[in-house]
Amino acid sequence: MASKFTVSNRTGWLMAGPAVLLIAGFVILPFFLAFYFSFTNQRLVSPNATEFVGMSNYRQLLGVTTLTLDPVRDDSGAVVMKDGEPEYPSLRTITRNNPDRPDLAGMREWFSFSLGGDSKTFVLARDVVFMKAVVNTFIFVLIVAPVQAGLALGLALLINQRLKGINVFRAIYFMPVVVSIVVVSLLWRLIYDGQSGLLNNLLGAISFGLIPPIDWLGNPSTALGSIIAMSIWQAVGFHMVIWLSGLQTISPTLYEAAAIEGASKWQVFRYITWPGLRNTAVLILIVITMQAFGLFAQIDVMTNGGPLDSTQTIVFQAIERGYGKQDISGGSAISVILFIIVLSISLIQRWLTREKT
Partner 1 sequence: MAMISAENRGLRLATRYAVLVLIAIIFVFPLVFMLMSSLKPDQQLLEDSGNLRAFLPVGDISLQNYWDAFKRAPVATFVFNSVLVTGVTVVLSLLLCSAAGFAFVFVNWKGRNTLLALLLATLILPFETIAIPLLMMVAYLPWLGMEGLIWGWLNSYHVQIIPFIADGLTVFLFVQYFKDLPGELIEAARVEGASWFQIYRKIVMPLSGPIFATAAILKFLVMYNQYLWPLMVTQEEGYRPVMVGLQYFFQLNVAWGEVMAYLSLITVPVLAFYLYLQKAFIASIASTGVKG
Residues 303-322 that bind partner 1 (CB under 8 A): 315, 318-319, 322
| Residue of 98, 180, 267, 344 that binds partner 1 (CB under 8 A) | 180
Checking phi first, is residue 257 left (phi over 0); if not, alpha (psi -120 to 50) or beta?
alpha
| Residue of 60, 65, 219, 346 that binds partner 1 (CB under 8 A) | 346
Q: Is 95 in the site for partner 1 (CB under 8 A)?
A: no
Smallest separation (angstroms) from partner 1 to the CB of 210: 16
Smallest separation (angstroms) from partner 1 to the CB of 218: 14
Q: Is 138 in the site for partner 1 (CB under 8 A)?
A: no
Q: Which stretch binds partner 1 (CB under 8 A): 72-80, 141-149, 156-164, 263-271?
A: 156-164
Smallest separation (angstroms) from partner 1 to the CB of 262: 18
- The helix/strand/coil state of 198 is helix
Q: Which stretch binds partner 1 (CB under 8 A): 106-114, 132-140, 255-263, 279-287?
A: 279-287
Nearest of 176, 119, 125, 188 to residue 152 by alpha carbon: 176
Site residues (CB under 8 A) for partner 1, limited to 325-344: 328, 331-332, 334-336, 338-339, 342-343
Q: Which is nearer to partner 1, 95 or 289 (CB)?
A: 289
| Residue of 178, 210, 260, 352 that binds partner 1 (CB under 8 A) | 178
Q: Is 299 in the site for partner 1 (CB under 8 A)?
A: no
Angstrom distances, CA of residue 348 to CA of 19, 149, 322, 343: 31, 18, 29, 9
Angstrom distances, CA of residue 288 to CA of 131, 142, 170, 301: 23, 10, 20, 21
* Bridge partners (DSSP) listed for residue 124: 65, 109
Q: Is 81 in the site for partner 1 (CB under 8 A)?
A: no
Nearest of 111, 113, 110 to residue 128 by alpha carbon: 110
Site residues (CB under 8 A) for partner 1, limited to 9-48: 9, 11-16, 18-20, 22-23, 26-31, 33-34, 37, 42, 44
Site residues (CB under 8 A) for partner 1, limited to 238-257: 238, 241-242, 244-246, 249
Smallest separation (angstroms) from partner 1 to the CB of 131: 19
Q: Is 175 in the site for partner 1 (CB under 8 A)?
A: yes
- For residue 146, whether the previous peptide bond is cis, meaning omega lies within 30 degrees of 0, is no
Smallest separation (angstroms) from partner 1 to the CB of 82: 42
Nearest of 36, 31, 70 to residue 50 by alpha carbon: 36
Angstrom distances, CA of residue 311 to CA of 139, 171, 252, 298, 300: 10, 32, 46, 10, 10
Q: Is 3 in the site for partner 1 (CB under 8 A)?
A: yes
| Residue of 94, 118, 294, 357 that binds partner 1 (CB under 8 A) | 294
Q: Which is nearer to partner 1, 104 or 288 (CB)?
A: 288
| Residue of 58, 138, 169, 269 that binds partner 1 (CB under 8 A) | 169
* Cα–chain center distance at 246: 25
Q: Is 259 in the site for partner 1 (CB under 8 A)?
A: no
Number of residues forming the site for partner 1 (CB under 8 A): 99
Question: At residue 121, what are phi and psi to the nearest 5 degrees?
Answer: -105, 125
Q: Quote the CA–CA distance of 228 and 180 in Å, as a whole number.
A: 16
* Bridge partners (DSSP) listed for residue 79: 73
DSSP codes, 102-125: GGGTT-EEEEEE--SSS-EEEEEE
Q: Is 139 in the site for partner 1 (CB under 8 A)?
A: no
H/E stretch holding 279 reads helix 278-293
| Burial readout 152-182 (b: 16 or more C-beta within 10 A, e: otherwise) | bbebbeebbeeeeeeeeebeebbebeeeebe
Smallest separation (angstroms) from partner 1 to the CB of 143: 18
